[in-house]
Amino acid sequence: MRDKRLFQLTLTAVFVTIIMTMSLLPQIGFITVMPGVSVTLVHIPVIVGVFLVDRRNAIILGFFMGLGSMIASYIYGATAFDLAFQLPWISILPRMLFAWAAFEVVQVFKKIETIKMGKVILFGVVSLVTLFALFYGSKAIVTANAWSTYNGQQAEMYALRAEADQLESEDRDVEALAKRAEALVIELNLPTLADEATAKEAKIGGIVTPIVLFLTVVFLVAYYWFIEKHQGSFVFIPSSFILATVIHTVLVLSVVAIFKPAIFSMGFTDVISVIYGIAMTNGLMEALAAVLVGTPIIVGILNYTRKELI
C-alpha cells in the first residue's frame, strides 16, 4: 500500500512538472490563435494523468493546470479575456472541476464499454454531447456579440434611471431630470438597435452555423474511423478524451460568463464576431489534439503493462 501511494505521488509530481512547464512556456500549453482566442493543449497531460492516478491526485493535477493558467495570465495576458484568468475562481476552480469530472468520465466509460452494446452507447453519447456543445455554444456566443450594443445601451438606460432616483432622493431634481432625459433618448433608440442586432445575428449565424456543422461532421467521422481502425478496442479512451475536453471548454466559458459577463459583450465588429463565434469550436480542435496525442500514450501503457488502469 505504501509503495502504491509513493508511486501515485511520484506520478503526480511528474505530471505537475509537465503541466506547469507547458503552461508557462509561451505558445506551448496555450497557443494564441488571435488576441483573446487560444487553443489549450495543457489539458492533455491532465487527462492522461487522470487515467493513471486516483481521484484526489487527479484534482491536484487540475489545480496546477489552473495555477499555471493564472500565472501565465500575469505574464502573457494581453486582452480582457486573458486577464480574467488572474482571478483564481476563473482560472483554478473550473480546472479542478474539469479534472474531477474527467476522472469520473473515465471510470464510467470503462464500465460502459464492458456491457453489451457499450461501444455503441459510448459513440452515441460522445456524438450527442459534441454536437450540442459546439452548435449551441457557438450560437450563444454569436448571439451575445450581435446583441452587445443593445444590451450595453439597455444597461446604461437602467443605470441612468437608478442615478435619477438617487438624485431625487437627495432633492436634486434638475440633475435627476437630465438623467431621465438621457435614459429616454436611449429607450427611444432601443427598437432600432434591436432590429440591427437581429439582422446582425442572422448574418453572422448564417456564416458560423454551416462551418460548425461541417467541422462537427468531420470530427465525428474521424472519431468513427479511429474506432473502426482499432476494431472497437479501447473505445473508452478516445471517448473519455473527447468528452473531458468538451467539459473543460464548457466549464471555463461558463465560469467566465458568470464572473466576467462583460467580456462576451465588448462590442466586436462583424468580422471579429464571426471569428469569436467560430472560436467556440476551439474545443473541437482541443478534443482532436487530445485524442491524437493522448490515446496512443494510454493505449501504449495498457499494451505494455497489460494491467487495468485505476
* Mean predicted lDDT score pLDDT of the chain: 79
pTM for the model: 0.71
Residue 31 placed within a domain: yes
Estimate to the nearest angstrom the gap between the alpha carbon of 34 and the chain centroid. Answer: 16
Cβ-contact 297, 44 below 8 angstroms? no
pLDDT at 55 over 50: yes
Q: Which domain holds residue 23?
A: 2-305
* Domain count of the fold of the chain: 1
For residues 255 and 218, what is the distance between their CA atoms, to the nearest angstrom?
A: 29
Please enumerate in sequence order all residues whose Cβ is within 8 A of that of 42, keeping only pairs 6 or more positions apart, or say none. Answer: 19, 22, 23, 28, 29, 30, 65, 68, 69
Estimate to the nearest angstrom the gap between the alpha carbon of 9 and the chain centroid. Answer: 28
Cβ-contact 187, 157 below 8 angstroms? yes
- 86 to 5, 19, 25, 80, 282: CA distances (angstroms): 33, 18, 17, 10, 21
**Selection from 174, 150, 152, 151 nearest residue 164 by Cα:** 174
Give the amino acid at 94: P
Residue 241 placed within a domain: yes
Residue 310 placed within a domain: no
**Selection from 124, 122, 129 nearest residue 239 by Cα:** 122
100-109, 185-194, 232-241, 278-287: range with lowest mean pLDDT: 278-287
pLDDT band at 66 (very low <50, low <70, confident <90, very high): very high
More confident residue, 26 or 63: 63
Highest mean pLDDT among 22-31, 132-141, 255-264: 22-31
Average pLDDT rounded to a whole number, residues 245-271 = 70
